[in-house]
Structure 1
Amino acid sequence: MAGTGDKQKQIFRIAISGYYGFSNSGDEAVLRSILLALEEEAAAQGVTVQPIVLSADPAWTSRMYGVESAHRMRPGDLLRTLRSCDALISGGGSLLQDVTGGMTIPYYTGILKLAQWLGKPTFAYAQGIGPVNRRAMYPLIRSAMRRSKYVSVRDAESAALLGRIGVPLDRIDVVPDPVMGLPLPEGTTAAREGAETPPVIGVSLRGWREDGADLARAAEALAALSKRRPVRLRFLPFHTPSDKVTSEEVMERLSGRLGEGSSAELTDPGDDPQAMLLAVSRCDALFGMRLHALIYAANQQVPMLGLSYDPKIDQFLNRLGLAPIGTTESLDAEAFADAACALLDAPDDWRARYGPAIDELKRQAKDPAQQIIHALRQYKSR
């Protein structure tokens, strides 16, 4: 949309679709990571990117990230945005799944198809695909992905599912979640509490089972750990207000049950995903149920224990060579305490063992932005 002479960089206006503007730290971290990666790669390739984010709260998104934003559910806004853009990125996260609702897949594939119908190149950026329980959704996914210029997914299981649906495997890149490349806020450094205080255990839980049995088991496990040694349990709500309510419920279950010298606290790093990343970096270990809590911990090489409620938890841990400590159906309190104590006793051993895999994922997290900017330059030069 702009000249390519020496004095003027080529400008690409790119719409970005995802689960943005819903106060979910993980998805906001995905967006922040994508924006930073695109900006960095555009500068490296000598072009300029102007993002327009589709959001449930466009005003908030514009204030937070300093970008244009349009409402994700207003057809007129969507059409104007896509018409004004050079391309559409369907952002990272678990967008193409039907566990959270029957309209999720039709919505995100619909955005892709609308952009394609308008003649805009589309790109899938490190998506997590599935679970897809309704086979009727297969044609929607197949059509949207096969017509995209570039498709990347965040794990091999997502690629395999797309292959079964009918997307050629040789068109799919398997890359890490974008948040593996998210930096700490500018001017800050990770600084763990140190040996002067009890070690800090970050705790990220979400509601899942209707009967609350999974949270009861989590509380039992944390209580068992607190009786082995003094710890500071620092609850980190990744999706507000729901995770805050869940954290308060577990803290209530722990009331009067913590060992001597142990404590529980609820923290609120605010809306900025990089502030949450900083909060995670200052933990000595992390017990996480939220996927992005675990990704934040890996990003900062914080030893972790994952509680699985969804295959995406297992898939991420597997990429590091780890396995969940338990699931929402089963968690042994004493085994949890054993594992947590082992992490606290030898954190450097954990980093030596898993650090190389983490470093490789951080390097690979830049690949989608490189591919997309390169593809756009080629597309516009034709």
Structure 2
Amino acid sequence: MGDRSSVTVGVLGSYGGRNVGDEAILTAMLDRIRGGRPDARLVLFSRSPDHSRTMHPDVEVVGWEGVCREGISEHLRRLSVLVLGGGGILYNTEARRYLRLARTAQDLGVPLFTYAIGAGPLTDEADCAWIRATLSDAAEVTVRDEESKLVLEEAGLTRPITVTADPALLLEPGDCGGELLRAEAVPQGVRLVGMSVREPGRAAEHLDEDGYHQLLASVGDFLVHRLEAHVVFVPMERDDIRHAHGVVSHMAEADRCTVLRGSYHPQQVLDIVKQLDLAIGMRLHFLIFAALAGIPLLPLPYAGKVFDFAQQIGAPALRGVVRETAGLLLAEVDRLWDERPARAAHTVARTAAMKLRAAETGDRLLAYLDRTAPRTLVRSTMPTVAAPIG
């Protein structure tokens, strides 16, 4: 274990994968740890060390994929605690990859703290076994939504689980969005509606690519005709660009769309979203950014985490992007636009409550560190002055 006169915090999650949402979680998490424990050394375990060093130049970065147990153990031994999360990394076939490293840390005597983690879909028995074996021994288990708690319980985890909220809710918007949109040649002086799409895959098992491309193309054309809007596709992963073009290829008004192509930090994407008049999307963190920006939003659920967020934010309870008909979806978009002042005010109030829950995760981690790794006292270098007599 690391030197208990100081604290070394390891962070493990889906980092280095060039996903804006994951990087937003990491940014907020690191800021919270630094703010509460400026004496902490930070070690980031990354899937792509070069990318992570560019994004976080002031953090020690360790690559872990493809590294043998002995090789990674030398880094784990230095830790006071390993923080797992946040983000939705505990799902079929993926969970075991992260939990194997987490279990190695535990075997070395390093405590595990899960940080507002996301779970599901999780039905594979091998992954469920890793959940039970690893998280049962964790110092604390916090998840970002009720859906994740239910998934872990159904996997057989019987220990207490605390529900907080996504760490990215603690990011604060800046003011560079207008400049970034101008650089992407997005028209000025018009209504802007942001859209977010994603790829099918293990985390979105029921998406039919052609079907949802056509469905969202109908939404895009409606936005142009009904609102005289320009549609801005905001990729949260690089592969989202391809799927955004797939949607645009089905639109009659393709010339009234822009697919953003720049590589942006989370703060920059949040600033871009702040420039929008309306947000409609699939990606969870695009919707979180819209909530932080205080603009009306319509989630297009494809998984439990988006359903859960829609309920928490008070958005329309759509059945899911894979099951909605175009007519019902367009009616919801129309209603959202007509009710946007009230919807925006409602979103701001709900978001404020969620931010308080998001802050609780960091509070719990810092309290744990204060109990197990006392703060380093800095001796004063000022000379001692004797008190006057009399």
**Which TM-score band applies after superposition, normalised by the shorter structure?**
0.7 to 0.9
The aligned residue for residue 90 of structure 1 is: 84
| 1:1-382 matches, cutoff 5 A | 11-42=6-37, 47-66=38-57, 67-73=59-65, 74-75=67-68, 76-98=70-92, 102=93, 104-168=94-158, 171-185=160-174, 197-208=189-200, 209-240=207-238, 242-254=239-251, 257-258=252-253, 263-325=256-318, 327-381=320-374
How many aligned residue pairs are there? 360
Specify whether residues 271 and 227 from structure 1 end up closer, same or farther in structure 2 by C-alpha distance, changes over 3 A only: closer
Structure 2 distance, partners of 1:381, 1:50, is: 14
**Greater Cα offset, 53-62 or 267-276:** 267-276
Structure 2 unaligned blocks of 5 or more: 183-187, 201-206, 376-390
Shift of 1:145: 1.0
Structure 1 residue 338 displacement after superposition: 3.5
Change (3 A) 1:86 1:211: closer
| Offset, 1:14 | 1.0
Q: Confirm or deny: 8 A CA contact 1:30 1:93 kept in the other structure.
A: yes
Q: Distance in 2 between matches of 1:23 and 1:230?
A: 33
Task: Give 1:157 shift.
Answer: 2.1
Identity of aligned residues (%): 25
Any unmatched runs of 5+ in structure 1?
Answer: 4-9
Alpha-carbon distance in 2 for matches of 1:189, 1:25: 16
Which AA in structure 2 matches 1:246?
A: H
Per-residue deviation at 1:300?
1.7
The CA deviation at 1:146 is 1.3
- Report SS of the residue matched to 2:77: helix
TM-score, normalized by length of structure 1? 0.87
**Offset at 1:248?**
1.4
> Which one has the largest radius of gyration?
2
- Counterpart residue type for residue 173 of structure 1: T
**Separation (CA, whole Å) in 2 of partners of 1:54 and 1:346:** 44
Cα separation, 1, equivalents of 2:219 and 2:319: 10
Match of 2:387 in 1: none
> C-alpha displacement at 1:323, in angstroms?
3.4
Distance 1:271 1:79, change over 3 A: farther
CA contact (8 A) 2:296 2:347 kept: no
Which amino acid in the other structure matches residue 247 of structure 1? A
Q: Distance in 2 between matches of 1:229 and 1:368?
A: 40
What CA distance in whole angstroms lies between the structure 1 residues aligned with 2:142 and 2:170?
Answer: 15
CA distance in 2, matches of 1:105, 1:90: 11
Counterpart Cα distance in 1 of 2:209 and 2:192: 29
User: Contact 1:154–1:177 at 8 Å: present in 2 too?
Assistant: yes
* Residue 210 of structure 1: how far off its partner (Å): 4.8
CA distance in 1, matches of 2:163, 2:124: 24
- Name the aligned partner's letter for residue 176 of structure 1: A
- Cα distance change on mapping 1:210 and 1:325 into 2, 3 Å: closer
Q: TM-score, normalised by structure 2?
A: 0.85
| Amino acid in the other structure paired with 2:197 | L
The aligned amino acid for 1:92 is G
CA contact (8 A) 1:314 1:323 kept: no
The two structures, once aligned, show a CA RMSD in angstroms of 2.6
Q: Distance in 1 between matches of 2:321 and 2:349?
A: 30
State the Cα distance separating 1:168 from its structure 2 match.
3.6
Distance 1:211 1:338 in 2: 23
Native 8 Å contact 1:299 1:362 kept in 2: no
